[in-house]
Structure formats: structure tokens, C-alpha cells
């Protein structure tokens, strides 16, 4: 195992060096603008680095159940790279997200029901494919929303994967638990470079945020359909991303703003203001929120009925939404005086 970890690290370092040269040669930069908080042109090719490392992990690992997902993730990162390069319109973005999503659905990565409860199974019937598509697209774009400050997107995904790894460890499936831990290595290494190493600094870009959202979405489906983990437990590590995405959308509708337009109305920007632009503290707080949601969900799931876990999730969203409203009201009061 130690040898594999070292191989992954060396491969990713080589990939970082190669992609860095490639990015600067062809000026594949995310340029500063009014709606962005960075000040220097920065390569947006981080997603390609992570997805290439995922492919490398396939070749050195004995675990092959997620191979089709990891290969498809590379395709998603290429589609995201096209979006970064040519700034596609919304319709084109959705099409490029739909193609790999439908491919995996046809390969049996599909949500046919929402799990068994005391009153029976919640079957989706003929709506299964549509529900799966909408769920995956929601999560891809929720992850894209979260890609606003250095390392936040990767740290959030690390928190989710760690939670899943711990959950499935409790279910005594040690092989996949270990494999998920290995998959965090490229994210951790990328996060280190995202924070520092100016000459080798990268952003995830849509190639990364879309790919990671896609990966987490289908990993969740896999853990339910193939490993038997209940949806009422799996939803909790996803809570922050889902809550923030839905809350931002609802608040934009309330203000009659464009629902998909980029803006500074996300929680991480509010938190960044509260912490006086301390990116490290902001990341730590949101990472902790992700872990806390996972632990709360775990405790509720194992101590109460599964339907209680589901209802608690909905209640937690309402609390989160009211919390975000309170922050907005407080900001308006401060601005007024």
C-alpha cells in the first residue's frame, strides 16, 4: 500500500509539472475579473491533473468496481476543459453534463428507489432515469457553486469521501473503504498546490468542479445500489453542498435575480467577509460543517428510524435556510448603518 501511495504522489507531481508547462505555453488562464477574487492569471487545468491521477490509480489498484466511473470522470474533465476554454452557454454546458450522465445510467448506475422504510420501499418506477439525471445534474452544479475560493471545492469533496469511507468501514467493507481513502490522495495533493507554490498554482476550473461533482454523485449511487448503504445515511455527507445550492437558488428567486448567474451571494463569501478574508479559517469552518453534518446523520441513522433520518435532513435544510436569511439581514443592517 505504501508503494502505491508513493507511486500516486510521484505520478501526480509529474502530471502537475507537465500540465503546468502545457497551461502556460497555451495561456490556459483564468483571468481576474470583477466577479472573481484572485489577482493573477492562473491555469484552470487542475481538473485534468486530478482525473489523470484517477486513471493512474486504476492501473495500480486491484479494486475495479469503480473503474468505469473513474474513466468517465476523465471524459467529464475534458468536457469541463472545453467549457473553461470556450466559455460555453448554459445549454451547451448541460448537454456536456448529460452525455456522461446518461452513459453511466445505461450502465446501471441508476436510482430505482429511495430505500426501505417502516412503511415500505419508496419506488421511483418509470421516473427512475429522470430522477437520477436531475439528482446528478443538481450535484454537479452544486459542486460548481462551491468552487469560489482556494481549495474549498476539493476540501469539501475530501470531507464527503472521508465520511463515505468511514461509513462503509462500519459496514465491514474494508476494501472499498481503503480505496476511497486512496482516492483522496490526489485531492489532498492538489489542495496543497492550490494554497501555495505560486509557479505551480492551479484552479480546478469547470474541468475539476464538474468532474468531482459527477464523481461524488455516482459514488453515492454506487454505495447504495451495489453496497447496500441506505440513502437516509448517504445524504448526510452531501448536506452542505445540497443545502447551499438550494438556498442560493431560492434566495435568488426571492430577489428575482438570475438563478444561474455567478455572484457573491454564497455562504463562503459571507464567511470570508466575517473572517476578514482569512481563506484558511473559512475553509476550516466549512470543512468542519461537512464533518459535523456527517456525524449528526450517522448518530440519527443508527439511533432512530430511517424515516426520522430523512425528516431530520429536511428539517436541517430549513434551519440552514433560516440561518442564511439571518446572515443576509445582518449584512443589510450593517450596510445601512
Read off the pLDDT of each residue in 98-104 and give the average, rounded to a whole number: 97
105 has pLDDT over 50: yes
333 pLDDT band, cuts 50/70/90, is very low
Q: What percent of the chain has a predicted confidence (pLDDT) above 90?
A: 67
212 pLDDT band, cuts 50/70/90, is very high
The bridge status of strand 42-43 relative to strand 113-117 is unpaired
337 has pLDDT over 50: no
Tens digits of per-residue pLDDT, 113-128? 999 998 899 999 999 9
193 pLDDT band, cuts 50/70/90, is confident
Tens digits of per-residue pLDDT, 240-288? 999 999 999 998 888 877 777 777 788 998 888 888 889 999 999 999 9
Tens digits of per-residue pLDDT, 14-25? 999 999 899 888
The whole-chain average pLDDT of the chain stands at: 90
Choice among 230-244, 265-279, 296-310 with the minimum mean pLDDT? 265-279
Per-residue pLDDT, 1: 75
Find the angle CA(284)-CA(260)-CA(250) to the nearest 5 degrees.
75
User: Number of C-alpha atoms within 13 angstroms, CB side, residue 84?
Assistant: 29
Per-residue pLDDT, 334: 45
- The answer to whether residues 235 and 297 touch, using CB atoms and an 8 Å cutoff, is yes
Q: Where are the domains of the chain?
A: 2-336
198 has pLDDT over 70: no
- 179: cell is 480505496
Instruction: State the Cα–Cα distance between residues 168 and 172, nearest whole angstrom.
Output: 6
53 has pLDDT over 80: yes
DSSP 3-state of 255: coil
195 has pLDDT over 80: no
H-only helix segments in the chain = 2-25, 46-60, 67-86, 90-106, 128-145, 152-170, 174-195, 205-225, 231-234, 239-254, 267-274, 279-303, 306-336
301 pLDDT band, cuts 50/70/90, is very high
Read off the pLDDT of each residue in 14-38 and give the average, rounded to a whole number: 80
Per-residue pLDDT, 194: 79
332 has pLDDT over 60: no
Instruction: State the Cα–Cα distance between residues 211 and 31, nearest whole angstrom.
Output: 21
Per-residue pLDDT, 285: 95
Using alpha carbons, select from 126, 125, 135 the residue that is nearest to residue 101. 135
Helix (H) or strand (E) holding 323: helix 306-336
210 has pLDDT over 90: yes
Using alpha carbons, select from 240, 201, 182, 185 the residue that is nearest to residue 66. 182
Cell numbers 502530471 correspond to what residue? 15
Instruction: State the Cα–Cα distance between residues 4 and 129, nearest whole angstrom.
Output: 37
Read off the pLDDT of each residue in 150-162 and give the average, rounded to a whole number: 95
Q: What percent of the chain has a predicted confidence (pLDDT) above 70?
A: 93
- 221: cell is 449511487
Instruction: State the Cα–Cα distance between residues 136 and 99, nearest whole angstrom.
Output: 12
Per-residue pLDDT, 197: 63
331 has pLDDT over 60: no
Per-residue pLDDT, 172: 83
Q: Directed axis angle between helix 128-145 and helix 152-170, to 10°?
A: 130
Contacts of range 228-232, beta carbons closer than 8 Å, 24 or more positions apart: 228/171, 229/167, 229/168, 229/171, 230/115, 230/116, 230/301, 230/306, 231/114, 231/115, 231/310, 232/115, 232/117, 232/301, 232/306, 232/307, 232/309, 232/310, 232/313
Instruction: State the Cα–Cα distance between residues 19 and 11, nearest whole angstrom.
Output: 12
Q: Would you give the DSSP letter of residue 276?
A: T
- The answer to whether residues 60 and 37 touch, using CB atoms and an 8 Å cutoff, is no
- The answer to whether residues 28 and 45 touch, using CB atoms and an 8 Å cutoff, is yes
Using alpha carbons, select from 12, 108, 69 the residue that is nearest to residue 215. 69
147 has pLDDT over 90: no
Using alpha carbons, select from 71, 91, 232, 215 the residue that is nearest to residue 153. 215
Amino acid at each position: 500500500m505504501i508503494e502505491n501511495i508513493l507511486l500516486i504522489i510521484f505520478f501526480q507531481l509529474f502530471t502537475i509539472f507537465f500540465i503546468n508547462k502545457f497551461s502556460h505555453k497555451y495561456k490556459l488562464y483564468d483571468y481576474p475579473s470583477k466577479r472573481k477574487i484572485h489577482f493573477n492569471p492562473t491555469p484552470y487545468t487542475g481538473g485534468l491533473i486530478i482525473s489523470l491521477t484517477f486513471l493512474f490509480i486504476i492501473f495500480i489498484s486491484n479494486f475495479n468496481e469503480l473503474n468505469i466511473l473513474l474513466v468517465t470522470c476523465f471524459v467529464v474533465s475534458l468536457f469541463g476543459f472545453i467549457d473553461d476554454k470556450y466559455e460555453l452557454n448554459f445549454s451547451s454546458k448541460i448537454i456536456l453534463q448529460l452525455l456522461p450522465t446518461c452513459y453511466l445510467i445505461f450502465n446501471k448506475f441508476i436510482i430505482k428507489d429511495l430505500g426501505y422504510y417502516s412503511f415500505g420501499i419508496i419506488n421511483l418506477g418509470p421516473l427512475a432515469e429522470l430522477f437520477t439525471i436531475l439528482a446528478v445534474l443538481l450535484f454537479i452544479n452544486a459542486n460548481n457553486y462551491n468552487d469560489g475560493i482556494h481549495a474549498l471545492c476539493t476540501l469539501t469533496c475530501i470531507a464527503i469521501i472521508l465520511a463515505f469511507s468511514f461509513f462503509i468501514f462500519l459496514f465491514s467493507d474494508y476494501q472499498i473503504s481503503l480505496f476511497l481513502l486512496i482516492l483522496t490522495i490526489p485531492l489532498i495533493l492538489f489542495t496543497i498546490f492550490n494554497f501555495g507554490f505560486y509557479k505551480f498554482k492551479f484552479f480546478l476550473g469547470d474541468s475539476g468542479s464538474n468532474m468531482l461533482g459527477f464523481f461524488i454523485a455516482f459514488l453515492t449511487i454506487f454505495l447504495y445500489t451495489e453496497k447496500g448503504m441506505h440513502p437516509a445515511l448517504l445524504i448526510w455527507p452531501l448536506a452542505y453542498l445540497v443545502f447551499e445550492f438550494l438556498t442560493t437558488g431560492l434566495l435568488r428567486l426571492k430577489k428575482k435575480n438570475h438563478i444561474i448567474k455567478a455572484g457573491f451571494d454564497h455562504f463562503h463569501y459571507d464567511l470570508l467577509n466575517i473572517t476578514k478574508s482569512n481563506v484558511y479559517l473559512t475553509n476550516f469552518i466549512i470543512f468542519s460543517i461537512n464533518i459535523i453534518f456527517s456525524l449528526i446523520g450517522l448518530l440519527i441513522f443508527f439511533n432512530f428510524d430511517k424515516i426520522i433520518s430523512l425528516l431530520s435532513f429536511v428539517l436541517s435544510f430549513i434551519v440552514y435556510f433560516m440561518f442564511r436569511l439571518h446572515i443576509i439581514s445582518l449584512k443589510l443592517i450593517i450596510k445601512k448603518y
